[in-house]
Structure formats: C-alpha cells, structure tokens
Amino acid sequence: MSRFYARGSDSETESSSEDEAPITKPTIQPTVYLSEDEEEQTSKRIVRSARDKRFEEMYTLVRKIKNFRKNNDMSNILDCYEDLTKAHQKALPIILKEEKGATPSFYLRILAQLELYVNQQWENKKTMSKINSKSLATLRQKLRKYNKDFEEDLAKYRENPELLDEDDEEEEKEVDEDDDESDSEPEVKEKKPKKESTKKVAKTDGDDESDDSYWGSDSDESSSSSDETEYTDLRQRFLKKAGEGEQEESKTKKQKEREQRKKDLAKSKLDKEQEDEDELGTWEVVKGGVQAERPKMFQKDQEINTPVVMKKLVEITAVRGKKGTDRKEQIELLVELESVAKEANLGSAVAVKIGFAIIAAIFDYSLKVHEIQKVQYWMKLLDKVNEILSLSISTKDHLTIDENVAEDSEELDKAPYKVRGCLMTVFERLDEEFLKVLKELDSHSFEYLERVQDEKKICEMLDRLLAYLESTHLVNDKGVMCRAYYKKIEHMYYKFDVRVLKKKRGEFKGDTSVDDMQRLAGYVYAKDTTDRLRTRAILCHIYHHAMHDNWFEARDLILMSHLQEVIHHSDPATQIMYNRAMVQLGICAFRHENIQDAHNALTDLMMSGRVKELLAQGLMPQHRHDRSPEQEKIERSRQVPFHMQLNLDVIECVYLASAMLIEVPYLAEHEFDAKRRPISKTFYHQLRTLEKQSLTGPPESMREHVVAAARAMKKGDWQKCYNCLVNEKMDKKVWHCFAIYEYTKNEEKIGVKEMLRRKIREESLRTYLFTYSHVYDSISLPRLAGMYDMEYAQVHSVVAKMIINQELMASMDEPSKTIVLHRTEPTRLQSVLLQVSDKINILRETSDRNFETKIQGGPGTMGPGGKGRQFNRMDWKNRRNQNQNRGGQHNRGDRGDRNNDRGDRNNDRGDRGDRGDRGDRYDRNRGNRDRDDDQQRKQAVEQ
C-alpha cells in the first residue's frame, strides 16, 4: 500500500501488508545536521510584556519588605522602600496606559501597612539601636510625604481593605502563573523530540512501520495536510483560535474551585477546634514566673471584725515586693478587703489604714523609675487620695494620722483613733508621679493636654491638705509645714497673675499671688532647718517677682542671698532652678531698660552653648561620645514639663539685643585699639561672620535680624536699626511675649518697643560721634537732635555724659549750642602707626629675651640650666680634669681653668698660634662695638 493514501483500519493494513512484496529497509540512515536557525526554533524564546516585568519587580520588593518587617530591620526596609518607589515611578507610564491610571491594589496595601507599622514602631523608638532609630525617622518622614499623593486611594483602602486584598491576591496569582508557565514551557518542548525519536527506533517490525520510520509518520502528514487545507487565507492562520478562550475559562473555574475548597477546609478545621474546646473546656492564660497563691478572703460564716481584717491586710501586704507577685491582683484584693470592711462598719481608722495600703500598691504597680502610670491607675490614685483626705478632714476631731505613731500603739477600734501614716508624704509622691507622667508624654499629644488638666485637681487637693494641717496638731511640726508650703510655692511660682500688674496700675485692690508667695516663702525662710528647701524657695520667689516685673525686689533678693557663690555645690535640680531664675531676672532687667544687668544675667548661660540642657528643656546631641542609656534616662527625668518651659527665642533675642546696645558703641570707640577685647564673644562672632560674607540677603532668622540691626547702628542709621529689630516677623516670634506688660499712662505708651526705640537712638548717636568725630571741628546739637529724632535736652545729656567720662575729647559751647572737638585724638593713620610700633617693640623684647637666654645657658642650650642635656656639676668637673690630663699626654698644652679664660694662646698647640683668648673674645668684640656706637652718636650730635 502506498504511503500517500490515508491509513485504514488495522485489519486492512495487515492484509495489505501480506499481499505486498516485502521492501528491505536501508541499513544506513543519512545523518541530518540542524542549522543554527533551526536550533533556535526548537528552543522557543519567551516574550513577556512590560507590565509583567515591572509588576514582578515590585512584587519582589514587597516580599522583601515583609520579610525585613518580621525582623524589625529598619535600614533594609528603608532601602527596599526607596527601591519600590523608584520601581513604581518606572511602571507609571504602563499603569497610565494599561490600568487607566489606577494604582495597583498591592502597592496601596503595602503603603498602608508600612504607615501603620512605622507608627507602631515609633512608640518603641527609645529601645532601638542608633542606626534603626535613625532609619525609622527617615522612613517616617519620607512615607508621610509620599503618601500625600495617594490620600484618596489609601482612604478607600482603609474603608474596604478586603476587596482590594482579593484583587491583590488575583494579581499575584496571575504573575505567579506566568512565571510557572514560562519555566515549564521550555522543558516540555525539549522533551517532545526525545519521545518522537524513541518511537522511531521502536517501530522496526513490519513494512508499514519501516516506511513510517524512514519517511515519517502518517500523523505528521495528516497534520500538515490538515494545516494546509484548514487555512484558506493567511489572515486566518494567525487569528486567535476559539479553543483558547475556553481554556482560559476552564482555568478561572479551576482557580475558583481551589479557593472554595480551601475555604471549606479552613471552616471545617475551625468547627472541629470549636467542638474540641466545647468538650475539653476553654484555654487559660498561664503567667510566667513563680506563681504566688492568691490568699482567700474570708469564710462564709467567719465573723468580720477589726483584728481579722488587719490580719488579712498584713497577709496581703506581706507578699509585696516578692518575686512572682501579681501587682494587679494585689490591688484587687485590697479593694475587695476595703469593701468588706465598709460593709462591716469597722470605722474610719480601718478605712484609712486600708486606703494607705491601696495607695502604696498602686504606686508599686509601676516599679521602674521611668515607667509612667497607666491612665486607669492614675485616676484610681487621684480618687483614692481624695477619698482619704476627705475622710481625714471629716474625722479630724477623733482621728490622728501621724508618722510618729508607732505600729504597736495604733488604735483602730475605739475613739480617739490613731493611725500611722503621713498625708504629706503621700501627696509628695503623688506630685512626683504627676510630673513623671508629664515628662514622659509627648508635649504635642492630646493625652498631654488631658493630664495637664489634672493639675487643677492636685492644686485643690493641696489647698485642702494645707487647711487640714493648719487645723490639727501638725501645725506645730515645722518640718511638715515647710514641706507643705514649699509644695504650694512650687505649683504657684511659674504661673502669671494679671492682678499683680492691674494692682500696680491702680485697677485692682486685694491680695495677689505675690502676696501669697511672700507669706509662704517668709515662713520657709524663718522656720526651715534644711538649706535645700530654703534655697529653692528663694529661687522660686525670685522667679515669681521677675515674671511680674518686680525688678528691684528680685534683684535685692538674689544679692542678699549670695546664691551665686554657693550654687555650684547644690544638686542638679536646684542648679536648674537657679538657671531659670537668672533667665527670668535678665528678661525683667531688659524690660526695665537695665541693659547691662540683663546682659550680665544671661551671659554665663548663653556663652555655654547648652541653653537647652542647662534649662532642662531638652538634650543636645553629643558629637564626641554618646551618652549611656542610664545617663540619658537620668537626664530626661530632670526635664521640666512643657507647660513650664521658657521661650528660647525670647532669651536669645534679649541677650543679642543687649549685647548689640553695649558692643557696637564699644567697637566704635576702640576701633584701632590693639588690646581691645570683645564684651560678648557670641555676638561678636555672629557680627564678624556676617561681615565676611560677600553677599548678604535680607534677614530671615531672629539672629540675622539682630545682626542686621547692629550693622545699621555701626553706620549711625537708627531708623534702619529699629526697623530690623522691630517688624512684623519679629513681633510674631519674640515681641508678642512682652505685649502683656505694655500699657498707656498719660497718653504715653510704656513697653518694650518704646524702650528699644529710645535706647537705639541714644546708642546710635554715641556710635556716630565715636566714628565720625575726627571729621568735624564742631557739631550743632540741634542738628543732631533732628537727625536722631530726639529732644535737645536728651542730646545735650548724652553728649555731656560722654565728655564727663572722657569718652569724647570736646567741650560744649552753650551760646552757639555746638560741640567743639579738640583734636587730641590721633588720626586713623596715626592710630595704625602706633599699633605697628607697639608690635615692633613687643617683637624686639622677645628677641632680646631669647638671645640672653642662649648666652646665659638658659632653656634650649647645652650648658648649665639648659633643657637639651641635664646638667650635673660632678660630670662637668670630671670632664674638665680629663681634658687637662689629655693635654699633658699629647703635648697639646694645658687649656687652663675655665675661670682663667680657658688657657693661654701661647701654650704648646703648634703653629695655629694667634687665636686669642677664647674666654675674652666675645666681651672684647662687644666692647669695640659699643665704642664705635658712642663715637657715631657724638658725631651725630656735633653735626
């Protein structure tokens, strides 16, 4: 049968093969060589779309971020995040084209998760390493800025995260399937030729099989013929087949079936676990560590009386501080015991005793020094202290609470009751806990505002406590009363009272906070036996006076106390209080036009360069060495709460303005003085730095405004100086803080701005006279008054002071109202020459001193007293004797004694002869030079 006909059934082929004559198969098959193009066709190259490439790159980065997030590796998360944003930027054209500008859901999800993760980690930033905390801060800043572009999409994601997560999973599966297909296709295509070759080798029996093996199989022919007959047109050959769409539909159906099966399995597992829990019971959380047995309260039929309750109280408190004690459970037990005692009506003494135990247990709940109380326990603490205080006030006639009462002598059954305890100590501990809460919280958070409002409750509690102490026997205890009054001072000294200023202006009559402070501080000054309380009370009193513009009272108080001499021996908290008082005193002096006093008060603080640290308002970064964690915790515990802090911009502005009003006239007066020393190094450095700049723009910061004002004052331009210092920008930064002190009296404004205008005009006038006095023979006083917008009497007063203090060499001509300058001051050229001559004299004296040192064997020489070699008198004598002996042995003559000018030139030293006396040579030559100089001087005089 011919191979060109279609193949029939097996029976037909068998019969036809029997009829036909056998055809011998060729023994040698021809070798077929494949060209390079055919080899490339066999291994088909996979072409992937640009979308798949970009999305796959983004998916890999997302997976990396998730892995690094498990390890809290912030630096690697930051790097991957930056790479992810770059990859998204590259994929943006494809997203706009194919996704119609819709941001991929997986990208939104990772941004939202990263934002949530960063916010969670930000709370634990203190426990991180330095690198991780720095990376976290950078990541937080970049993420906030970047997420602003996706606010709407992120808001939609947060509303319905599940919908976007499903889309995200489908996209991931598509990408994974594409990867799997791309990996599997080459393997299948490589395996197909091998199968065909095995078939060809196996088919060796029969004629038809030999024909098929030699000429190729009929299936190939049928497929090729069907391909040729199937496509009538070239266009149809490359169209998508109908079967491919069905295959895709079957794929999606399979995926849905798989997902449904997974959900059913998960649901069945949950049902099974629930059934097991119902059978075995619920799980209990087991706490680590050694578990202390919870003491049972009372039996049902047991009689409740005071000894039984006190015994149970001792039993509960005995576990306090031991390892494995559940502090929360201890508080609950004490509260339960208190309720049992109230039901049994055991009296106020038992209630106070249990109340003290509950307060101690709440304090113990946060054992760490820097761990703050939780809000619920803080509120419980406030309520419990208030309750005990109310109970003590209501029963003060027959209840005595004192720390001097011994435990054995306590009376809890009968009146009058006696309880061991101290309400003042409890309040001090409560106040410390309150300050600790404020220090640890973020000053810009809503929680901080809530906690600050608790200060009103604490102050009311303190007033009630003071009333209780003054009405009991404790009023005679000076130590307790001083502590109570100091606590009142501490809560009062930094608060501004407007009634004080109104009372000064006659707008209010009555007691103010200044009067209360005087009464409380006076008691502490008189009765306190410890130096610390008295010192801190004085500093609080100074601060309060200075804040309310009582300059003379504050100044006298600090001068009489002599605190400047002993403050260095005080503890750090007292030194911080001293720094705060000095700052407030300097600002008060500035308001009262005492510029020199303001500068002196602020100089020490500002020259240190650590204003924040010295005022306990923050920590400065240390470049050379980092602080240890313990040291940093200690320094943070000393910080002042945010609502008590001072404005650093106001402090610096007051200091620089005071330095400008003092330094600029001084520089103009001593312009050519070589021994001039700057009064304020900080201000002088700022001024020199700005003058060295080739290009100076308009001032922006507060420092630049003050320096620009100083440059204008150096030229005598008071109007420009004032405008640089007082303008809208500086009003918002600094001068609005002084607005409360401004008022009008007899149609005259009194305030800081008016004071500055007056001082700037006076100092600009002095600077102008110092700078340009060598130009004038005489100056008209009315003209100066017009230039500086001052009255004639003010100008006359300023010039007269300068003449009296010998700052200006001039005299006043009253009839003509002029200043006559005497020209006793050297000109600019003469001043420069005087400086050069001074420097030459200093150089000559230095060279003469060095020359004499070398001649006399001083430091740096090899003789006696020299540092080049240590001098020993015995060595010197031995060496001289050796020289004498050596001269006798070698017939070189005796060099002689050192005192006899080291030998005679005529000794046996050969023909070297007339070398003269070595010892006398220098003196003789010097004498000859002196004689020649004298002769020259005489000839010059005669001429």
Query: Is 30 inside a domain boundary?
Result: no
Element (H, E) at 818: strand 818-821
Query: Is 246 inside a domain boundary?
Result: no
Please say if the pLDDT value at position 380 is more than 50: yes
CA atoms within 13 A on the CB side of 516: 18
What span, in angstroms and rounded, lies between the C-alpha atoms of 659 and 596?
Answer: 8
What span, in angstroms and rounded, lies between the C-alpha atoms of 480 and 460?
Answer: 19
Confidence grade of residue 840 (pLDDT, cut at 50, 70, 90): very high
Q: Is there a contact between 581 and 542 (Cβ–Cβ < 8 Å)?
A: yes
Report how far Cα 578 is from the mean position of its chain's Cα atoms.
Answer: 24
Is 591 strand, coil or helix? helix
Name the least confident of 124-133, 233-242, 593-602, 818-827. 233-242
Same domain, 696 and 640: no
What tokens appear for 71 in the block? 């390890």
Helices 572-591/752-772 angle, 10° precision = 80
**pLDDT > 70 in the chain, percent:** 71
Average of per-residue pLDDT across 823-837? 77
Q: b/e per residue, 736-760, with b = 16+ CB within 10 A?
A: ebbeeeeeeeeeeeebbbebbbebb
Name the least confident of 314-323, 350-359, 840-849. 314-323
Confidence grade of residue 38 (pLDDT, cut at 50, 70, 90): very low
Query: Is 624 inside a domain boundary?
Result: yes
Structure confidence by residue, pLDDT tens digits, 444-454: 888 899 889 99
Residue 779 backbone phi and psi in degrees, to 5:
-130, 140
Query: 647-651, long-range: CB within 8 Å, 24+ apart, which pairs?
Result: 647/737, 648/611, 648/612, 648/615, 648/617, 649/702, 649/733, 649/734, 650/587, 650/734, 650/737, 651/583, 651/586, 651/587, 651/602, 651/605, 651/606, 651/611
What span, in angstroms and rounded, lies between the C-alpha atoms of 660 and 674?
Answer: 21
Structure confidence by residue, pLDDT tens digits, 491-500: 999 999 999 9
Q: What is the bridge-based pairing of β-strands 748-750 and 778-780?
A: unpaired
Torsion angle of C-alpha atoms 408, 410, 412, 418, degrees rounded to 10: 180
Helices 105-123/50-71 angle, 10° precision = 20
DSSP 290: P
Among residues 181, 174, 150, 185, the alpha carbon closest in space to that of 51 is found at 174
The residue among 735, 750, 775 that closes a domain is 775
What span, in angstroms and rounded, lies between the C-alpha atoms of 769 and 763?
Answer: 10
Query: Is 771 inside a domain boundary?
Result: yes
E-strand spans in 771-809?
A: 778-780
Cβ neighbors of 880 (< 8 A, separation 6 or more) are 897, 898
What tokens appear for 190 in the block? 């490589």
pLDDT at 425: 92
Same domain, 411 and 496: no
Same domain, 410 and 343: yes
Average of per-residue pLDDT across 805-830? 82
DSSP states of 167-185 as a string?
HHHHHHHHHHHHHHHHHHH
Q: Diameter of the chain by CA atoms?
A: 163
Please say if the pLDDT value at position 650 is more than 70: yes
* Edge-to-edge order in the sheet of strand 818-821: 778-780, 818-821, 810-813
**394 or 619: which leads in pLDDT:** 394
Query: Is 269 inside a domain boundary?
Result: no
Same domain, 840 and 866: yes
pLDDT at 34: 45
Determine if the peptide bond prior to 416 is cis (ω within 30°). Answer: yes
**806 or 460: which leads in pLDDT:** 460
Q: 């060796």: which residue's tokens? A: 204
203 CB-contact burial (10 Å; exposed 0-12 / middle 13-18 / buried 19+): middle
When the pLDDT of each residue in the chain is averaged and rounded to a whole number, the result is 76
Same domain, 550 and 659: no
Task: Report the number of distinct structural domains present in the chain.
Answer: 5
What span, in angstroms and rounded, lies between the C-alpha atoms of 218 and 211?
Answer: 10
Please say if the pLDDT value at position 644 is more than 80: yes
Same domain, 723 and 851: no
Q: What is the bridge-based pairing of β-strands 818-821 and 417-420?
A: unpaired
Please say if the pLDDT value at position 198 is more than 60: no
The residue among 644, 670, 694 that closes a domain is 644
**792 or 942: which leads in pLDDT:** 792
**939 or 581: which leads in pLDDT:** 581
Helix ranges restricted to H, 491-512 = 498-504
Query: Is 129 inside a domain boundary?
Result: no
Same domain, 739 and 788: no
Same domain, 794 and 728: no
Average of per-residue pLDDT across 166-189? 47
pLDDT at 693: 77
Average of per-residue pLDDT across 35-58? 65
Confidence grade of residue 3 (pLDDT, cut at 50, 70, 90): very low
Confidence grade of residue 894 (pLDDT, cut at 50, 70, 90): very low
Same domain, 631 and 685: no
Same domain, 628 and 481: yes
What span, in angstroms and rounded, lies between the C-alpha atoms of 360 and 336?
Answer: 16
What tokens appear for 559 in the block? 């001068």
Same domain, 511 and 614: yes
Among residues 701, 608, 715, 722, the alpha carbon closest in space to that of 657 is found at 722
Same domain, 500 and 397: no
Query: Is 184 inside a domain boundary?
Result: no
Query: Is 679 inside a domain boundary?
Result: yes
Beta bridge partners of 402: 420
Structure confidence by residue, pLDDT tens digits, 705-748: 998 999 899 888 899 999 999 988 888 889 888 888 887 776 66
Average of per-residue pLDDT across 115-141? 85
- Written as one letter, the residue type at 650 is V
The residue among 596, 615, 644 that closes a domain is 644
Query: Taking the complete model, does pTM exceed 0.85, yes or no?
Result: no
Among residues 766, 755, 753, 760, the alpha carbon closest in space to that of 797 is found at 766
For 733, the domain range is 648-775
What span, in angstroms and rounded, lies between the C-alpha atoms of 534 and 521?
Answer: 8
